[in-house]
């Protein structure tokens, strides 16, 4: 069964890209992981339309995206509430829905969060590069020919040729994440917290930071109290590998939470966001406030287990 | 300092930084390289990614499948017998470079900084065999060292928003090649037409960690011949 045109982009909004759960195993060549910034919403969007959870979805940033269905499709929208509509009817999120050929899907304004995810049953038919369909915008490969979606782009998929049945899947309401404008991110100190005095670390953990407008898929830039190294210690370090969630203190003392588009860094990391809280990093937007809360490895492990249990329960009962 | 055993630092709950030293030194980098190949060959369940650095290896793992203590034990064991593991041969690359002019807008500045002539800077840059210490910054970008002190130069005070693909540049005691158009703060000495990164090739990067690299000064005409 061949690939079929499923969606025509009428307006891309500020940034819409094709992402799956990322590109692994090529960090040795400096190739970043890319992938959905909010992996929870990506996984659930796929599971709601009976795709493998690593299938490619659309990551839709802020409002303004508009597309036309080119055939009947099962879809699911998760993540940020960007006020999605089908034609002139609001579209329920976090559940499978049918849209018909000719229907217009639009995201009208920002209710909460930053990025919505659109899963389409059968997935998106783009060529995997280094094992992933994710878009690497910096280097220009993967996803839709290596670039963000533009007006007029036609996406292909494998929706199946039989008539569409209602899948009737939804995420239990108590598991739908609540997005606010004030976020508490749980962190483990390190790897280079020893470059900062204990008073500085304490200040970092008590301060409120606001998200700066220059934030993008490379990093969330914060403004707030300056974090300065101990006297006599250089701000830069010998370059080393990094992961998403590492909180790097750059030259001027402002923290950056590194995201999915970079693999190495040459500044100290005071702390690292725990795995269970990584999906939040995809929903933080300029102007939001961030607080950091220290946890230990056992707590982080427990929270990650709890997070994975939500996904596993969904798979078990649907 | 070259540590006598690897030091561990956690980077969150799913990455471990294994450090073999705290300075730029080919022996430390070789120890990182040996550990990298040893772990890569073992295909350890739960290890998602290995990223070698100058003196550390970053290991991203799934803590639900591979407990940190088990990973640390594997590393300690692998470090002891690292002499015995298969290590891919390092390769040698000769990179043609057109120095100066619009290809190398900072060549004159570097010459002036050290009170050298332009031919002397070129002679020093081409007269050294460099080690590929790590690949990073952007896909395929090789951090090469070490540059002779006589031409080592600070980064530009104001980074460029666009450094053209193929630019050959220096910063402190490092030299490197920009594989794609990107922002950058290094001093640009010249340009090469050699492609360093191709996402559709296997492997996607030309230069690997541990490889040896030399530069050759060529004319525009010679560059065309070279890459034919």
Domain count across chain B? 2
Facing residue for A263 by CB, picked from B51, B54, B200:
B51
| Helical ranges in chain B per DSSP H | 26-42, 68-80, 107-114, 118-126, 220-226
Q: Which of A111, A294, A51 is nearest to A187 (CA)?
A: A294
- Residues B54, B159, single domain; the answer is no
Tell me how far apart the alpha carbons of residues B31 and B46 are, in angstroms, rounded to a whole number.
23
Across chain A, mean pLDDT equals 95
Q: What is the pLDDT of residues B59-77, one digit of tens each?
A: 999 999 999 999 999 999 9
Q: What is the pLDDT of residue A4?
A: 94
- Residues B106, B218, single domain; the answer is yes
Boundary-marking domain end, from B45, B61, B84: B84
Burial category of A234 from C-beta neighbours within 10 Å (exposed 0-12, middle 13-18, buried 19 and up): exposed
Boundary-marking domain end, from B84, B117, B133: B84
pTM of the model: 0.94
Tell me how far apart the alpha carbons of residues B117 and B110 are, in angstroms, rounded to a whole number.
9
- A166 vs A163, more confident: A166
Q: In the structure encoding, which two tokens stand for residue A309, read together?
A: 């249990």
- Residues B30, B127, single domain; the answer is no
Whether domain A182-315 has CATH 2.40.100.10: the reply is yes
Confidence of residue B90 (pLDDT cuts 50, 70, 90): confident
Q: Which chain A residues are closer than 8 Å to B137 by Cβ? A: 30, 239, 264
CB contact under 8 Å between A241 and B52, yes or no, is yes
Task: Decide if A130 touches B, using CB distance below 8 A.
Answer: yes
Across chain B, mean pLDDT equals 94
Domain harbouring B73, CATH code: 3.30.1360.40
CB-based contacts of B208, cutoff 8 Å, min separation 6: A28, B88, B90, B91, B132, B135
Closest chain A residue by Cα to residue B59: A241
CB contact under 8 Å between A241 and B135, yes or no, is no
Q: Which of A249, A255, A303, A258 is nearest to A277 (CA)?
A: A303
Mean pLDDT of the region A5-30: 97
Q: What is the pLDDT of residues A53-80, one digit of tens each?
A: 999 999 999 999 999 999 999 999 999 9
- Residues B139, B186, single domain; the answer is yes
Q: What is the pLDDT of residue A198?
A: 96
Mutate: best of B139, B140, B176, B211, partner A, most A CBs <10 A: B139
Q: Which chain A residues are closer than 8 Å to B51 by Cβ? A: 27-28, 240-242, 263-264
Q: What is the pLDDT of residues B154-200, one digit of tens each?
A: 988 888 999 999 999 999 999 999 999 998 999 999 999 999 999 99
Q: What is the pLDDT of residues A111-135, one digit of tens each?
A: 999 999 999 999 999 999 999 999 9
Q: Is the ipTM of this complex over 0.90?
A: yes
Q: What is the pLDDT of residues A133-154, one digit of tens each?
A: 999 998 999 999 999 999 999 9
DSSP letter string, A143-155 = TBTTB---TT-EE
CB-based contacts of B11, cutoff 8 Å, min separation 6: A190, A191, A242, A243, A246, A269, A272, B17, B58
CB contact under 8 Å between A30 and B135, yes or no, is yes
Three-state DSSP at A299 gives helix
| Helical ranges in chain A per DSSP H | 39-48, 198-206, 278-281, 297-317
Boundary-marking domain end, from B50, B84, B118: B84
- Residues B70, B96, single domain; the answer is no
Facing residue for A274 by CB, picked from B12, B200, B204:
B12
Q: Where in chain A is the domain with CATH 2.40.100.10?
A: 182-315
Q: In the structure encoding, which two tokens stand for residue B19, read together?
A: 């450090």
Q: What whole-number percentage of chain A has pLDDT above 70?
A: 99
- Residues B125, B211, single domain; the answer is yes
CB-based contacts of A229, cutoff 8 Å, min separation 6: A195, A196, A235, A249, A268
- Residues B116, B218, single domain; the answer is yes
Q: What is the pLDDT of residue A162?
A: 72
What dihedral do alpha carbons A120, A123, A125, A128 form, nearest 10°? Answer: 130
Question: Does position B83 have pLDDT exceeding 90, yes or no?
Answer: no
Cβ atoms of residues A5 and A158 within 8 Å: no
Domain harbouring B123, CATH code: 2.40.100.10
For helices B107-114 and B118-126, the axis angle rounded to 10 degrees is 100
**C-alpha distances out from residue A78 to A38, A42, A112, A284, Å:** 10, 7, 12, 15
Lowest mean pLDDT among A1-10, A131-140, A258-267, B117-126: A1-10
- Residues B121, B40, single domain; the answer is no
Q: What is the pLDDT of residues B26-59, one digit of tens each?
A: 999 999 999 999 999 999 999 999 999 999 999 9
Q: What beta strand segments (E) does chain A contain? A: 4-12, 15-19, 57-61, 65-69, 73-81, 84-86, 89-90, 96-99, 104-107, 112-120, 154-157, 182-189, 209-211, 219-223, 236-241, 246-249, 255-258, 264-267, 269-273, 289-294
Q: What is the pLDDT of residue B88?
A: 72
Question: Does position B86 have pLDDT exceeding 70, yes or no?
Answer: no
- Residues B19, B120, single domain; the answer is no
Q: What is the pLDDT of residues A234-267, one digit of tens each?
A: 888 999 999 999 999 987 899 999 999 999 998 9
Which residue has tokens 């070698």? B52
Q: Note the Cα A274 to chain centre separation in Å.
A: 15
Domain span holding position B118? 92-226
Q: What is the pLDDT of residue A71?
A: 95
Q: What are phi and psi of A80, to 5 degrees?
A: -60, 145
Q: Which of B214, B216, B191, B193 is nearest to B98 (CA)?
A: B191
CB-based contacts of B187, cutoff 8 Å, min separation 6: B106, B109, B110, B153, B155, B156, B169, B170, B171
């Amino acid at each position: 069964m061949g690939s079929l045109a499923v969606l025509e982009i009428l307006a891309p909004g500020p940034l819409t890209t094709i992402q799956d759960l990322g590109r692994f195993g090529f960090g040795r060549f400096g190739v970043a992981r890319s992938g959905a910034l909010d992996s929870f919403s990506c996984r659930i969007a796929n599971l709601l339309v009976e795709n493998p959870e690593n299938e490619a979805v659309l990551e839709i940033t802020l409002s303004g995206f508009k597309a036309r269905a080119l055939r009947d499709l099962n879809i699911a929208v998760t993540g940020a509430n960007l006020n999605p509509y089908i034609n002139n009817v609001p579209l329920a999120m976090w559940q499978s829905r049918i849209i018909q050929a000719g229907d217009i899907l639009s995201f009208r304004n920002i209710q909460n969060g930053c990025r919505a995810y659109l899963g389409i049953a059968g997935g998106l038919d783009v060529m995997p590069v280094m094992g992933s369909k994710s878009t690497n915008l910096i280097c220009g490969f993967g996803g839709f020919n290596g670039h963000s979606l533009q007006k007029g782009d036609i996406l292909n998929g494998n929706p199946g040729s039989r008539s569409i049945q209602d899948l009737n899947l939804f995420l239990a309401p108590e598991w739908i994440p609540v997005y606010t404008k004030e976020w508490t991110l749980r962190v483990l100190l390190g790897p280079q917290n020893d470059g900062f005095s204990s008073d500085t670390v304490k200040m970092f953990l008590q301060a409120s930071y606001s998200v700066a407008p220059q934030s993008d898929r490379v990093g969330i830039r914060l403004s707030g109290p300056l974090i300065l190294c101990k006297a006599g210690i250089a701000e830069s370090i010998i370059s080393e590998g990094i992961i998403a969630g590492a909180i790097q203190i750059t030259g001027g003392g402002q923290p950056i939470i590194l995201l999915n588009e970079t693999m190495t860094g040459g500044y100290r990391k005071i702390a690292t966001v725990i795995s269970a809280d990584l999906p939040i990093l995809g929903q933080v937007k300029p102007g939001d406030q961030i607080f950091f809360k220290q946890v230990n490895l056992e707590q982080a492990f427990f929270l990650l287990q709890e997070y994975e249990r939500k996904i596993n329960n969904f798979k078990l009962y649907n | 300092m070259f540590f006598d055993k690897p030091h561990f630092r956690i980077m969150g709950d799913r990455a471990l930084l294994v450090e073999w030293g705290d300075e730029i030194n080919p022996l430390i980098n070789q120890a990182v390289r040996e550990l990298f190949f040893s772990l890569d060959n073992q295909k350890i369940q739960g290890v998602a990614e290995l990223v070698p650095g100058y003196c550390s290896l970053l290991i991203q793992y799934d803590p639900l499948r591979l407990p940190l203590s088990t990973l640390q034990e594997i590393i300690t064991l692998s470090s002891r017998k690292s002499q015995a593991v298969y290590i891919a041969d390092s390769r040698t690359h000769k990179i043609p470079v057109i120095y100066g002019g619009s290809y190398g807008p900072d060549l004159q500045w570097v010459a002036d900084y050290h009170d050298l002539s332009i031919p002397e800077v070129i002679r020093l840059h081409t007269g050294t065999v460099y080690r590929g210490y790590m690949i990073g910054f952007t896909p395929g970008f090789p951090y090469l060292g070490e540059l002779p002190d006589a031409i080592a130069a600070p980064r530009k005070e104001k980074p460029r928003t666009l450094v053209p693909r193929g630019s050959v540049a220096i910063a402190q005691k490092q030299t490197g090649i920009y594989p794609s158009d990107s922002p950058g703060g290094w001093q640009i000495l010249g340009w090469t037409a050699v492609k360093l990164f191709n996402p559709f090739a296997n492997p996607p990067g030309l230069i690997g960690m541990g490889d040896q690299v030399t530069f050759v000064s060529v004319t525009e005409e010679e560059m065309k011949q070279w890459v034919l």
